[in-house]
Chains A and B, each alone.
Chain A
Amino acid sequence: MSLVLATLGIGVLLASALAAVAVGRREILALRLGTAGAVAGSVLGGAAAVEQLLRGGATLARAPWRLPLGTVTVGLDPLSAFFLLCIAVVGGLAAVYGAGYLRGYAGQRRLGPAAAFYNLLVAAMIGVVLARDGVLFLLAWEVMTVASFFLVTFEDDRESVRRAGLTYLIASQLGVIALFVLFALLRAHAGSFAFAGLLAAGAPGGGLADVAFLLALVGFGTKAGFWPVHVWLPDAHPAAPSHVSALMSGVMIKMGIYGLLRTLTFLGAPPLWWGATLVGIGIVSGVIGVLYALAQHDLKRLLAYHSVENIGIIALGLGVGLLGQSRGEATVAFLGYAGALLHVLNHGLFKGLLFEGAGSVLHATGERAIDRLGGLGRSMPVTALTFLAGAVAISGLPPFNGFVSEWLIFVGAFRGGAFLGGGAGVAALAVIPALALIGGLAVACFVKVYGVVFLGVARSDAAASAHEAGAAMRWPMVAGAALCLAIGVLPATFVGLAAPAALQAAALAAEPLGVLGALPAITRVALILLAAAAALALLRAALLRRAAVRVAPTWGCGYPAATPRMQYTAASFAEPVLAPFASLLHTTVVDERPAGYFPRTARHEEHVGDMAGERLLVPAVRRVLDAAGRLRVLQAGRIQLYLAYVLATLLVLLVWQVAAVAP
């Protein structure tokens, strides 16, 4: 039943994508058709996922036609179903938002293909989680990459967008090479591309499992955005339209996590160093991600770096899970995987919400630079309030959802430190300060964003003339914020949805006892916090009703010519937080200080480049290009030389083959 619903969802998505292209130049109609299809497909997919998760077990179906090398086998098990739920929720909400967001582009750009590629992307992601055959999986994976590439390059008349799209495509294809090798190795081991065959063949031995793990880490890590292969992410997310950023950052990069988890199920019991490696990746990605986010001046780029940070948190959860699994500690393994999986859903929700909020700001002001905004809280109350909810959630604070998943990882790490012993215990304990540091820096970052963008007064004319987003854009944000709050207030219900998938990932039969007993306490704390917030809001309203309110400029220390640009800026807020980490950032500063008694000009610019890109990947790529350049002597450009190659090859082959049969 659930599988039928899910495949029906793919069918609806593909059909509506075709319809959106077919109606041609009637842009608004195409957008409506695409959105309707995306919502219907998401509802079907979500229903399938919930039904499967509640019923438990796994379903499998095989289509009678064949693929080259593979079969069309699809299935749903708890792991797939949980990711399908994430796709459906975020995909559906972002589609509705996109209908409002893209409307502004009508007449300037083709909306039909944009809507079609969106639906194709959602369909491909559902295909990725449903696929039960390596070939089908890679096929869906590639469709996902190509569809998202065309979505990223929606505004393809801008140089920066084309560049970002190209970076994304190249990074994805480099990652896919690792996946091709991975599946080829697994097939060589199991004799089949079918997942059932891979599972039945048992754990590959003789170092093959280690190689496969590393290949999966590179291949799926590139899509997920692990440091240092995240370099495409901070370029691609800001370049894409905001609802696409929400979908890509919210769920598409999680397909990398899904692929990693799925591969781990084929590889048998993990050795200790796998978990330690993931913990290391998680710490580096998380800390570096949030530090770079803090240093950004572009709202969407900042959010993109937060995706690197949150992928780091998910990697920490997976690392704890693997550590527990390697030592046979069911509780630790379950907590780690459950935390990671719930964070997948949580990050999808609040990052989708935050990108939608950033999109509304962009839509209203045309401005992405944080230091040119300000005071939007008054003109865009719904966006401001929902963005605040997302900011609290992403910072991992109760009563929102980010707290729940990070809490699970924390508990797993504490238990790991207490019970695992040895190297595994040390690795698990390393998670705790890292996660705390990440959380603290995330709070600082979102205080900066929210304070500068939504509070104070407008720093530019564009910000001053901002207006609230339309209903199609407002409601998905409200729904996203409500879901974030719901998970934060009722964690037991939603951890229950993630639990079957976590059990499957940890290869456990039943939930360890007494692990989730503390969840009702989170509910109580959340309710107390909400009640306190409500009480404070009421108190404020009551106090303000009696007092006379006067709007006036802040006291400027007697300086008479103050302008809104002289408010506290985002860069100056972040500076003291970033100072201790200056060596990790790659900041270029242009400083032109005022000179003399009557200075005419002064200038200060700061740009934070990506260290992984500039210090690690660009030199590596350059070295490969240099080596390849040496081969270029072969390609002299003279047709005679090429013919000589052909002649030489022909003669060698002739002589070789004839000599073999010569009497």
Chain B
Amino acid sequence: MTAFADGLLLLVLVTDLYILASSRLAACVRATAVQGVLLAALPLVLWGPGGGVPLVHLLLMSAGALAVKAGVIPALLLRAAREANARREVEPYVSLHLSVLLGAALVGLSLWLARVLVPPGDVAATLLVPAAFATALLGFLMLVARKYAVTQVVGYLMLDNGVFIFGQSLAGSLPVMVELGILLDLLVAVFVMGIAIHHISREFDHIDTRALASLRD
């Protein structure tokens, strides 16, 4: 199972970099959905039947992740992007090429960090911690590098996905209610952001967050 889990995590890293490299909003959101599917499969692959974690727990977590991360949120985001009539992220703060380069550097940093920061418990997959760090850091990079509200939410989602992956190392000891609670939090946060995006676009006719810069004193 280890090789399979590592393969899944590698795919997660690929989606991370793909999101970072694409300028089309729709492509970004779809890649997020793909990442959601991968994450939903992760608990099952990692702990499998007989891995020491109750199957109901795993199924609940998997189904929750699938519904929220691959279903509801991407749908919401696609609708928001369509309504705001935004197709491409134009002139991000950090250019796409530079973003990918920075992203690759952060993946390297994550691999180095993971050598030192070994999670407690027996985790099968060797890529689990690096992938968790990399996804969170790249999500953060998205938040910093992009201007559009939709891509900001995508970055936020990636940040949370990183946390989700890291949480898998503790799946045995973390109560399922906490996991589901985190998913619910995420959903609510994205709802709020969706409403915010809607208002931004109605107010300014676009979803460029630069228009919010006048909020300083």
A640 adjacent to chain B (CB < 8 Å)? yes
Contact flag A662-B115 (CB < 8 Å), given A640-B93, A643-B144, A644-B144: yes
Sampled A-B contacts (8; CB under 8 Å) = A636-B213, A638-B210, A643-B144, A644-B144, A647-B144, A651-B137, A658-B117, A662-B115
Set of chain B residues within 8 Å of A644, measured between Cβ atoms: 144
Residues of A within 8 A of B141 (CB): 647
Looking at the complex, which one of B113, B144, B216 makes contact with A635 (CB distance below 8 Å)? Answer: B216
> Residues on B close to A: CB < 8 A?
93, 109, 112-113, 115-117, 137, 140-141, 143-147, 209-210, 212-217
Q: Which of A612-663 contact B (CB under 8 A)?
A: 635-641, 643-644, 646-647, 650-651, 654-655, 658, 661-663
Known contacts A643-B140, A643-B143; is-contact A637 B116 (Cβ 8 Å): no
Contact check: which of B93, B109, B143 meets A651 at CB < 8 Å?
A: B109
The interface residues of chain A lying within 8 Å CB-to-CB of B216 are 635-637
Contacts of B113 in A (CB 8 A): 654, 658
A639 lies within 8 A of B212 (CB): yes
CA distance in complex: A641, B145 (Å): 9
**B209–A639 contact, CB under 8 A?**
yes
A658 near B116 (CB under 8 angstroms)? yes
CA distance A661 to B112 in the complex (A): 12
Most chain B CB atoms below 10 A, which of A646, A647, A655: A647
A137 to B214, CA, bound (A): 43
A630 to chain B, nearest CB (A): 16
Expressed in whole angstroms, the Cα–Cα distance for A639 and B210 within the complex equals 9
List residues 248-263 of chain A with CB under 8 A from any CB of chain B.
none
- Tally A residues with Cβ within 8 Å of B: 19
Closest to B213 in A: A637
Tell me, in angstroms, the Cα distance from A640 to B215 when the chains sit together. 13
Measured CA separation A111–B209 after assembly (Å)? 50
Residue from A641, A644, A661 whose CB has the most chain B CB atoms within 10 Å: A644
The CB with the most chain A CB atoms within 10 A, among B117, B144, B210, is that of B144
A643 to B159, CA, bound (A): 13
Q: Given that A640-B93, A640-B146, A640-B147 are known contacts, is A647 also in contact with B140, CB under 8 Å in the complex?
A: yes
What's the Cα separation between A618 and B216 when bound, in Å? 26
Bound-complex Cα distance A637 to B211 (A): 10
Given A635-B216, A640-B93, A651-B109, answer yes or no on A662-B143 (Cβ-Cβ < 8 Å): no
With both chains docked as a complex, state the minimum distance between the C-beta of A558 and any C-beta of chain B, in angstroms: 66
- Minimum Cβ distance to chain B for residue A648 (Å): 9
- State in angstroms the CA–CA spacing of A640 and B113 once bound together: 25
B213 lies within 8 A of A638 (CB): yes
**Taking each of A635, A639, A650, which has the highest tally of chain B beta carbons within 10 Å of its own beta carbon?**
A639
Contact B116 A640 (CB under 8 A): no
Kindly state the separation between the CA atoms of A638 and B147 in the bound complex, as whole angstroms. 10
Contact B144 A640 (CB under 8 A): yes
State A639–B93 Cα separation when bound (angstroms).
12
Q: Is the interface of A mostly helix, strand, loop or mixed?
A: helix
Is the beta-carbon distance between A640 and B209 smaller than 8 angstroms?
Answer: yes
Residue of A nearest to B145 (CB): A640
List 17 other contacts, CB 8 Å, given A639-B209, A661-B116: A635-B217, A636-B216, A637-B212, A638-B209, A638-B210, A638-B213, A640-B144, A641-B144, A644-B144, A646-B140, A647-B143, A650-B140, A651-B137, A654-B113, A658-B112, A658-B113, A663-B116
Main secondary structure of the interface of B (DSSP, over half): helix
Residues of B within 8 A of A655 (CB): 109
Complex CA distance for A643 and B140, rounded to whole angstroms: 8
| A646 to B140 alpha-carbon distance, docked (Å) | 9
B187 to chain A, nearest CB (A): 22
Cα(A239)–Cα(B215), bound, Å: 35
A651 and B144 alpha carbons, distance in the complex (Å): 14
- Which residues of A sit under 8 angstroms from B217, Cβ to Cβ? 635
Alpha-carbon distance A635/B215, docked complex (angstroms): 11
Q: In the bound complex, what is the Cα–Cα distance between A655 and B147 (angstroms)?
A: 28
Min distance, Cβ A524 to any Cβ of chain B, angstroms: 68
Within 8 A of B (CB), among A237-288: none
Q: List the B side residues contacting A663 at CB < 8 Å.
A: 116
User: How far is the CB of B162 from the nearest CB of chain A, in Å?
Assistant: 13
CB distance from B176 to the nearest CB of A (A): 29
Tell me the nearest residue of chain A to B216, going by C-beta: A637
Contacts of B209 in A (CB 8 A): 638-640
Complex CA distance for A658 and B114, rounded to whole angstroms: 10
Contacts of A641 in B (CB 8 A): 144
Closest to B113 in A: A658
Assembly CA distance A638 to B93 (angstroms): 11
Contact across chains for B146 and A662 when beta carbons are under 8 A apart: no
Q: Which residue of A lies closest to B136 (CB)?
A: A650
Task: Give the residue name and chain of the B residue nearest to A660 (CB).
Answer: B116
Closest chain A CB from B119 CB (angstroms)? 14
Cα A635 to Cα B93 with chains together (Å): 16
Residue of A nearest to B133 (CB): A654
Residue-wise, chain A 157-182 has the 8 Å CB interface mask toward B (1 for contact) of: 00000000000000000000000000
Chain B residue at minimum C-beta to C-beta distance from A638: B213
Give Cα A341–Cα B25 distance, bound, in whole angstroms. 78
* Residue of chain B at shortest CB distance from A645: B144
Complex Cα spacing A635 to B117, Å: 34
Chain A residue at minimum C-beta to C-beta distance from B93: A640
Q: How far is the CA of A662 from the CA of B118 in the complex (A)?
A: 11
CB A208 to nearest CB in B, in angstroms, measures 39
List of B residues within 8 angstroms of A650 by Cβ: 140
A32 to chain B, nearest CB (A): 46
Q: Which residues of B contact A640 (CB under 8 A)?
A: 93, 143-147, 209
A637 touches B214 (CB 8 A): yes
A636 to B109, CA, bound (A): 29
CA distance A638 to B208 in the complex (A): 11
Pick from A638, A647, A661 the residue with the most CB of B within 10 Å: A638
CA distance A662 to B114 in the complex (A): 10
CA distance A663 to B117 in the complex (A): 11
- Taking CB atoms, residues of chain A closer than 8 Å to B145 are 640
Closest beta carbon of chain A to B99's beta carbon, Å: 13
Q: Which residue of B lies closest to A658 (CB)?
A: B116
CB distance from B146 to the nearest CB of A (A): 7
Find the B residue at minimum CB distance from A640: B144
Q: A651 contacts which chain B residues (CB < 8 A)? A: 109, 137
CA distance A16 to B146 in the complex (A): 60
* Complex alpha-carbon distance, A654 and B114, angstroms: 11
CA distance A639 to B212 in the complex (A): 8
**Smallest beta-carbon distance B203→chain A, Å:** 16
* A323-369 interface (Cβ within 8 A of B): none
Residues of chain A within 8 A of B213, CB atoms compared: 636-638
Instruction: Please report which residues of chain A, range 384-437, place their CB below 8 angstroms from some CB of chain B when the two chains form the complex.
Output: none
CA distance A655 to B113 in the complex (A): 8
Closest chain B CB from A643 CB (angstroms): 5
Alpha-carbon distance A646/B213, docked complex (angstroms): 18
Q: A654 to B137, alpha carbons, bound, how many Å? A: 12
With a CB–CB cut-off of 8 A, which chain B residues contact A638? 209-210, 213
Closest to A648 in B: B144
Instruction: State the Cβ distance, A73 to closest chain B Cβ, in Å.
Output: 43
**A469-527 with Cβ < 8 A to chain B:** none
Taking the closest CB of chain B, its distance from the CB of A11, in whole angstroms, is: 44
Give bound CA distance, A639 to B144, whole Å.
8
- Report chain A residues within 8 Å CB of B146: 640
Q: List B contacts of A658 (CB < 8 A).
A: 112-113, 116-117
